[in-house]
Amino acid sequence: MPCLILRGVPENTELGIDMKFWRIGKNFRGIKEIPVGFHYVYYSAVNAENEFGQRTGFGIWISQSEFIVKQWNAEEEDFIDVQLTADDVERYNANFEEISLYLGPYPSECHRDWISLTSLITPYTLERLLPLCGRVQSCTQFLSEPSCSQQRLAKSQSAVEPEQLVTSNPEDLLPKLDVVPGTEFRFTTIPKNPLMPPNCAPSEVTIHSMDRSYTLESVLTGLAAECNSVPPYQSPSKKSGQKWVDALSPGEAELLAELQFSYVMFLLNHVMDGWNQWRRILQLVANCERAVGVRPHFYMGLITVLYHQLFSASQSRRKKSDDVCGPVDTSTAELVDLFFSDITSSSSTHLSGPAFLPTVMRSLLRNILCCRIPSHPLNANEDAILIGQADLTALQKRAEGFCHSLEQRFQWGLKPAALRKESEPVELLVDDIDWDGDEAPVIVQM
């Protein structure tokens, strides 16, 4: 079985793989019996006072029985890759029985949960999204500008008019910080504002602002163009036999894989960039109406991905509150609170907002449950209409089950009947209008 050999790791270092982590002992040399596929290793160095540093991690892809060897660098408090020769591999194989005594077994009890969270991630996904440096760090790495005492003195003594110190944007007074090249994620760009087709009419601008299906189509088209040269990969989800997996286009599969990847980076490595990207993708797909009928298999996959993510997060939360025995990552459980927070503070408004998840889940599920396929769409035969209606019916049935699961676990008030009713037009009787109040309607002569 594949092995990850970690040489020279200091005692008491916090180290984990996938959904399990430990504080290692002095005889620890690595992990054995690692299943084939994607795995994520993360660690935090510890000082003499048992204080942990930032969390760092790296992804590995196991494809066969192999040895992956890394050496601990005490000065950098990080691992460096060790390139093995044929003689090294032969020596490891010959002495494997002795080496395995110092290798901890992969936590197989967590593998099923790990697969459910990363089922769509492929080698191409990792190559596309991971930082070029090969490491993920919980704190963003910034470049420090070269400076000396003479430069700072000259700058302070330079003639600056008082009115030049006044700025309308307080952020202009902050130092300009640039991220160290190669340390940032290479996430897909999700437009902040809705995209519009060229030369669209004013009425269409309103439609595309409310329904972001065109923006989603543009993002998926860009991802599909990048995936054209990539050979197909048989992911664990495809082996499960679920119909929606086989029906995904390359762009759809990659966007769902990125949703899984960003969630894992946030949950395990405590990287806020992962949370931000997860939120951007979710906000985009939740505010699409037309795309639900056009891409029912994509939304079927989206519900499946979100189900595993939200319920694994809630389990981490319960472990923290119930004081379950065993290795429980309390810092991860605290980060997971962002998913369920209803409280807004000035320092976190742009991250979580009030009741972010219940709000976005309401939009997503309402759009799915209220979607209708026209009886006679243009350029479509009767068989295509029947197939599309069957796929949409299956999606809506899955959405109803998701609603019931969310309501049972979180009590968010997401009931299918109520969500369907929200989209129905409301008739307002003339007698119910306060014609004399401040909010009375105004009749404008055209």
Q: Tens of pLDDT along 24-38?
A: 999 999 999 999 999
Higher pLDDT, 238 or 344: 238
- What was the pLDDT predicted at 444? 56
- Give the pLDDT confidence of 355-399 residue by residue, as tens digits: 788 889 999 999 999 998 765 554 555 555 566 788 999 999 999
| Confidence at 157, pLDDT banded by 50, 70, 90 | low
**At residue 354, does pLDDT exceed 70?**
no
The structure tokens listed for 44 are 């935090």
- What was the pLDDT predicted at 41? 97
- What was the pLDDT predicted at 349? 44
329 close to 21: Cβ distance less than 8 angstroms: yes
**Partners of 57 in beta bridges:** 42, 136
Segment 101-128 mean pLDDT: 94
**Phi (first) and psi of residue 122, to 5 degrees:** -120, 170
Segment 97-110 mean pLDDT: 93
Segment 178-200 mean pLDDT: 90
- Give the pLDDT confidence of 75-96 residue by residue, as tens digits: 888 999 999 999 999 999 999 9
- What was the pLDDT predicted at 227? 81
Within a 10 A sphere around the Cβ of 10, how many other Cβ atoms? 14
**What 8-state DSSP symbol labels residue 52?**
B
- Give the pLDDT confidence of 225-242 residue by residue, as tens digits: 988 766 665 555 555 557
**What 8-state DSSP symbol labels residue 171?**
G
- CA 368 to chain CA centroid, nearest Å: 21
The structure tokens listed for 431 are 């007698």
Report d(CA 81, CA 70) in Å as an integer: 5
Report d(CA 408, CA 415) in Å as an integer: 10
Count, residues in the chain: 446
**At residue 313, does pLDDT exceed 80?**
no
| Confidence at 173, pLDDT banded by 50, 70, 90 | low
| Confidence at 427, pLDDT banded by 50, 70, 90 | low
- CA 394 to chain CA centroid, nearest Å: 26
- What was the pLDDT predicted at 351? 44
Report d(CA 414, CA 406) in Å as an integer: 7
**Rounded to whole angstroms, what are the CA distances from 166 to 108, 153, 154, 175, 298?**
60, 21, 21, 16, 50
Alpha carbons within 13 angstroms on the beta-carbon side of residue 183 total: 13
DSSP H helical segments within 133-249, as ranges? 149-157, 202-210, 213-227, 236-239, 243-247
Segment 106-118 mean pLDDT: 94
The most distant pair of C-alpha atoms in the chain lies apart, rounded to whole Å, by 92
**At residue 139, does pLDDT exceed 70?**
yes
**At residue 438, does pLDDT exceed 70?**
no
Any idea which of 300-304, 325-329, 387-391 has the lowest mean pLDDT?
325-329
The beta-strand segments (E) located in 315-359 are: none
| Confidence at 140, pLDDT banded by 50, 70, 90 | confident
| Confidence at 312, pLDDT banded by 50, 70, 90 | confident
Report d(CA 115, CA 125) in Å as an integer: 15
- What was the pLDDT predicted at 385? 58
- Tell me the helix, strand and coil percentages in the chain, rounded to 5: 50, 10, 40
| Residues contacting residue 274 through CB under 8 Å, at least 6 positions apart | 185, 261, 262, 263, 264, 265, 266, 267
Going edge to edge, which strands form the sheet with 136-137?
A: 20-23, 14-17, 37-44, 56-62, 136-137
- What was the pLDDT predicted at 52? 82
- What was the pLDDT predicted at 42? 96
Any idea which of 24-28, 126-130, 267-271, 441-445 has the lowest mean pLDDT?
441-445
Segment 108-137 mean pLDDT: 94
| Confidence at 72, pLDDT banded by 50, 70, 90 | very high
Q: Compute the C-alpha angle 76/79/83, nearest 5°.
A: 125
Report d(CA 99, CA 30) in Å as an integer: 9
- What was the pLDDT predicted at 343? 43
Would you say the C-alpha torsion 208, 211, 212, 216 has a positive or negative sign?
negative
Which of 299-320 are b and which e, b meaning 16 or more Cβ less than 10 Å from the residue's Cβ?
A: bbbbbbbbbbbbebbeebbebb
**At residue 248, does pLDDT exceed 50?**
yes
Segment 314-325 mean pLDDT: 51
**At residue 307, does pLDDT exceed 90?**
yes
**At residue 192, does pLDDT exceed 70?**
yes
> What percent of the chain stands above pLDDT 90?
50
**What is the DSSP track for 242-270?**
-HHHHH--HHHHHHHHHHHHHHHHHHHH-
The structure tokens listed for 135 are 């490491």
CA dihedral 365, 302, 307, 356 (to 10 degrees): -60
- What was the pLDDT predicted at 141? 78
Segment 273-291 mean pLDDT: 94
As a whole number of Å, the CA-based R_g of the chain is 26
Q: Compute the C-alpha angle 101/107/112, nearest 5°.
A: 150
298 close to 306: Cβ distance less than 8 angstroms: no
**What 8-state DSSP symbol labels residue 179?**
B
- What was the pLDDT predicted at 46? 83
Report d(CA 186, CA 196) in Å as an integer: 25
Report d(CA 268, CA 245) in Å as an integer: 26
Mean pLDDT taken over the chain: 81
